[in-house]
Amino acid sequence: MKSVLTTSLLLCVLALTIQAQAYEKVADETFKYIKAGTFGKPKVAKNTSKLAIGQVRVHYKFITSRAALANKNNAADVTVYLDGEMTKGDLQKLTDEFYTILQQKLAAAGVSFADWKAIEATEYFAERQKSQEDKKPQDSDGKNGQAWLSFSAFDGPVLLKWKPYGTSELVGFGQLKKMAKSGQTAGGDFVTFDVVVDFASIMLNAEIKQDKKGWFYGDAYFHTDYSIGGTMSVPQSYIFMVDEKNSFDIYQNDLPVAEHFAFAGKPYKDESKAALKTQMFFSTERHTFTPLVIPAKRDLYLTATRRVLALYAEMFAAKMRVLRAGEKPAENKTIAQEKPKDSGKTIEQVNTQAKQSNAPTPVTTGELTAAAQDAVKAGNFKLATQYYGEIIKKYPNEAEAYFARGLVFMEKLNDGKAAQSDFSKVIEMKPGFNDALAFYNRGTIHLRNKDWKKAISDFDAFIKVTPTHLDAYNNRAIANYNAGKVDEALADFSNIIRLDPRNGMAYKNRAMLHRARGNATQAQADELRAAQLERGK
């Protein structure tokens, strides 16, 4: 008895999955280069050997929103509030740690750093520090329903203004020269980092619906629903790099950087907490926000944030390696397996040769089974089915013979119709020892034939008996996906990950489905985990 996952099925799996990606490829796609002019190309990051990190700012979200309609003004359909005991001191310390983490990760990419005290001593640093003595870390975007607290590493000044969900400060040539001079004075190419940390993943679906009422349909209406979970991510960032010749590079997130780490409790509604935080950040502005609150424990929140910032730093270091290597990371290619060739021998030919050499011909069930197995090993697949057929002629209720012949038809001869007939016969007999696997194999044939409903039914029956079989969940997920049951497919891939947390293919498949549902944060988290597993982490 054995389960079967054939070459054709593997190709079917690959049709569902995104291409396998190396860690560097994920990083390269995550950070987008913003062109400096029509023909601008990355230059500073590609050629730098030493950086003067003058600014590291982290914008910690405390209110996050998502609207179903892009043209809604001053409103959000779903708004989530973070509730926890984190202090401003905690966030300042975390930002200081992030500065050091950036240095550590970039050092692994071959970049060295100017000393912070040398940066503090520059004229531009002192000038900006003096002009921002009364700066406040609180900020918000009332139009889009976002609010955050911003902190600069080591309580430094804002050397380049960048606001999440807005535009960056327009850098004139005079300011560019000051940055370049600051880097040159400190002993490296000048760079600033601005990073947004979000605490929630909001997956929002919107559609036009029309409910059926008896024999008639009601009026069409706009319907939205959402799902919310605590997921730590960096949805936005802005990196500005300047060298001593006033050349500059700009990078920003094209994809979010996300990390799976349980830090939050179950979301709940609380009008009072929502009203308090809305008043704190938005004053008297009017908003149509849902009062959803995500509770976070202080230690878990800080750990989750530290982890996602470390992952962000590692991702940017990988991007730097790609830029400095001067090459785009290549896709992994799938190698097609060659189908075995059959010798074409028949049982009559074999028996005739045996008689001519005075050799015994197989007669008993044991002899016929052994002969069939030897035929498979020798590549005589049709001959093997004939031996099993001889057993079935003598013993029509021999379920083992039907099952074994079905495997040969399925695996070696690609005769799905004949294999399906044999597995159905086994299921009818209910022998107990291999009827469950017959469901699995017949489901695989239905999958090949794109009969999604029958495939799901057979895999359901198999999983009910064997709930830890990874391939069954994988195959049922493919059937569910193609049948339009995306939630069920997501659940199947999640079951694979639960049973095998190091299954990179399941993470890739689940990422694709998250992306199809518009949940880029969860998708990126799964893609990154898959890439980490490929690197053996």
Output the CA torsion sign for 422, 425, 429, 434: positive
Tally Cβ neighbours within 10 Å of residue 140: 22
Least-confidence region, from 77-86, 237-246, 338-347, 432-441? 338-347
Are 416 and 287 in the same domain?
no
Q: Is residue 442 part of a domain?
A: yes
Cα–Cα dist 529/507, whole Å: 7
Q: Is residue 331 part of a domain?
A: no
- What's the domain count of the chain? 2
If one compares 441 and 532, the residue with the highest pLDDT of the two is 441
Per-residue confidence band for 421, with pLDDT thresholds at 50, 70 and 90? very high
Are 239 and 365 in the same domain?
no
Are 383 and 298 in the same domain?
no
Q: Is residue 216 part of a domain?
A: no
Predicted local distance difference test score (pLDDT) of residue 120: 92
Among 291, 325, 359, residue at a domain's last position? 325
Predicted local distance difference test score (pLDDT) of residue 3: 41
Mean pLDDT for 481-508 is 88
Predicted local distance difference test score (pLDDT) of residue 526: 87
Q: Is residue 214 part of a domain?
A: no
Q: Is residue 206 part of a domain?
A: no
Cα–Cα dist 536/527, whole Å: 14
Are 464 and 367 in the same domain?
yes
Q: Is residue 508 part of a domain?
A: yes
Predicted local distance difference test score (pLDDT) of residue 530: 84
Angle, nearest 10°, between helix axes 399-411 and 416-429? 160
Are 169 and 271 in the same domain?
yes
pLDDT > 70? residue 326: no
Cβ-contact 192, 159 below 8 angstroms: yes
Are 46 and 149 in the same domain?
yes
pLDDT > 60? residue 348: no
pLDDT > 90? residue 181: yes
Predicted local distance difference test score (pLDDT) of residue 362: 66
Least-confidence region, from 24-28, 138-142, 180-184, 335-339? 335-339
Q: Is residue 262 part of a domain?
A: yes
Please enumerate in sequence order all residues whose Cβ is within 8 A of that of 231, keeping only pairs 6 or more positions apart, or say none.
Answer: 199, 200, 201, 258, 260, 521, 522, 525
If one compares 418 and 270, the residue with the highest pLDDT of the two is 418
Is the pTM of the predicted complex or chain greater than 0.95?
no
- What is the overall mean pLDDT for the chain? 79
Among 292, 325, 358, residue at a domain's last position? 325
pLDDT > 70? residue 132: yes
Cβ-contact 188, 296 below 8 angstroms: no
pLDDT > 50? residue 17: no
Are 349 and 317 in the same domain?
no
Are 314 and 349 in the same domain?
no
Q: Is residue 250 part of a domain?
A: yes
Q: Terminal CA-to-CA distance of the chain, rounded, Å?
A: 35
Predicted local distance difference test score (pLDDT) of residue 354: 47
153 DSSP 8-state letter: G
Are 278 and 374 in the same domain?
no
Among 278, 299, 325, residue at a domain's last position? 325
Mean pLDDT for 405-413 is 89
pLDDT > 60? residue 10: no
Element (H, E) at 207: strand 189-209
**Domain hosting residue 58, numbered range:** 35-197+224-325
Predicted local distance difference test score (pLDDT) of residue 211: 63
Token pair recorded at residue 98: 């992030």
Cβ-contact 266, 249 below 8 angstroms: no
Most confident of 182-191, 264-273, 469-478: 182-191
Cβ-contact 194, 57 below 8 angstroms: yes
- CATH number of the domain where residue 494 is located: 1.25.40.10
pLDDT > 80? residue 289: no
Output the CA torsion sign for 184, 186, 187, 192: negative
Mean pLDDT for 204-233 is 59
Predicted local distance difference test score (pLDDT) of residue 77: 67
pLDDT > 70? residue 19: no
By percentage, how much of the chain surpasses pLDDT 70?
A: 77
Element (H, E) at 186: helix 173-186
Cα–Cα dist 135/116, whole Å: 21
Mean pLDDT for 482-510 is 88
If one compares 239 and 369, the residue with the highest pLDDT of the two is 239
Are 306 and 178 in the same domain?
yes
Are 302 and 365 in the same domain?
no
Cα–Cα dist 320/45, whole Å: 7
Tally Cβ neighbours within 10 Å of residue 342: 15
pLDDT > 60? residue 11: no
Are 433 and 471 in the same domain?
yes
